[in-house]
Amino acid sequence: MAFEIDVTSGVSIGVARLDEDPDPFPTRAIVATTESTILDTRIIADSGHLWVTWVDSTNDVGWSEYDYPPETWAAPSYESYAQDDVQAARGRIRGAVLEP
């Protein structure tokens, strides 16, 4: 599950598991903080990968991928949608996560 938490410096993007199984991560985790009010936070699982995306600004989609061996979320990365749209940026993020 992906969620958003209002904090004094903006909004934190968090993730948490929904069941009692400790995989893929043991507890809730904050993966980023943004000043965006758009957000549209999504968590995606595909082909053994897990990542979260959010609309970070009027030009960028933020994202972070879960790294299974160390059981941590990667530092946030950003994909511009200044030349197209959020859906296209999320498609490029999917490609980056799933490429061999």
Q: What is the 3-state secondary structure (H, E, C) of 14-39?
A: EECCCCCCCCCCCCCEEEEEECCCCE
What CA–CA distance (Å, rounded) separates 100 from 97? 9
pLDDT of residue 20: 54
pLDDT of residue 69: 87
- Listed as ranges, residues in the chain with pLDDT below 70 are 3-6, 17-27
Domain layout of the chain by residue ranges = 2-98
pLDDT of residue 96: 97
Q: What is the pTM of this model?
A: 0.80
pLDDT of residue 62: 97
78-96 burial: b if 16+ Cβ within 10 Å, else e: ebebeeeebeebbeebbee
